[in-house]
Amino acid sequence: MHIGIYIYDNAEVLDFAGPFEVFSTANRFLEKDKQHKVSLIAEKASPVQARGGFRVMPDFSISEHPPIDVLVVVGGVHTEEVKKTNVTAWIADVARSARRVASVCTGAFLLAEAGLLAGRDVTTHWEDCDDLQQAYPALNVKRNVRWVQSDPLITSAGISAGIDMSLALVALLYEQSLAEQTARQMEFDWTLNPAVSEE
């Protein structure tokens, strides 16, 4: 299984580093033949400068990568990224075959622009909920929740909430006990979010 995390310039560091840590930590408790691959994917195969000047080299570009089973789209300063039709078209294309698609924080704007969230319960960073609802009126934006599941999509609130959501993904992809073991290893107080909307 391949988990691809989409990053871009001015992405929030913990939006991608948090989920990466969750998925890579979960691998420690899986037998070799059951482990997943975790990759960072960007528009181009060149360094990305995340918020605060944090520089990171993606593993793949959107034009050349292995098949993606789980796609995580992160947030940050998304206003320019959401205008890139090649990126949103790629997200929509990957979503057609992926088992799960998720967003952290304002990554929800990219999923919405890709046409994936209409009619669904979603969430984003508390500061951006009103903007998301106004920009995409067909969405049902939930406030004051850490993450929202609307199969096969999951959206989370901001930054650290992406860790909660990623642990929930581990539970969905494997089992609850693995997610709990992963959270304990990370010394992370996992918020089990009761807000669930199934299609």
Q: What pLDDT, on a 0 to 100 scale, did the predictor assign at position 191? A: 86
CB neighbours of 170 closer than 8 A, spacing ≥ 6? 22, 23, 26, 178, 179, 182
pTM, full prediction: 0.95
Provide the total of helices (H) and of strands (E) in the chain, helices listed first.
6, 11
| Mean of pLDDT values over 167-196 | 90
Q: What pLDDT, on a 0 to 100 scale, did the predictor assign at position 195? A: 52
Nearest to 195, CA basis, from 120, 128, 134: 120
Please state, in angstroms and rounded to a whole number, the distance separating the CA atoms of residues 153 and 168: 12
What single letter denotes the amino acid at residue 35? Answer: Q
**Two structure tokens written together for 51:** 């918020």
CB 154 within 8 A of CB 147: yes
3-class secondary structure, 41: strand
Please state, in angstroms and rounded to a whole number, the distance separating the CA atoms of residues 58 and 16: 11
Q: Following DSSP, what letter does each residue of 108-134 receive, concatenated?
A: HHHHHHTT--TTSEE---GGGHHHHHH
- Kindly tell me if the per-residue pLDDT of 196 is higher than 70: no
pLDDT band at 194 (very low <50, low <70, confident <90, very high): low
3-class secondary structure, 83: helix
Token pair 């408790």: residue: 29
Chain CA centroid to CA 149, Å:
12
Which residues lie across from 45 on neighbouring strands? Answer: none
| Of 42-46, 54-58, 59-63, 195-199, the least confident | 195-199
Each residue's pLDDT tens digit, 84-127: 999 999 999 999 999 999 999 999 999 999 999 999 999 999 99
Token pair 């959107």: residue: 62
Q: Count the neighbouring beta carbons within 10 Å of the beta carbon of residue 189.
A: 9
- What 8-state DSSP symbol labels residue 116? -
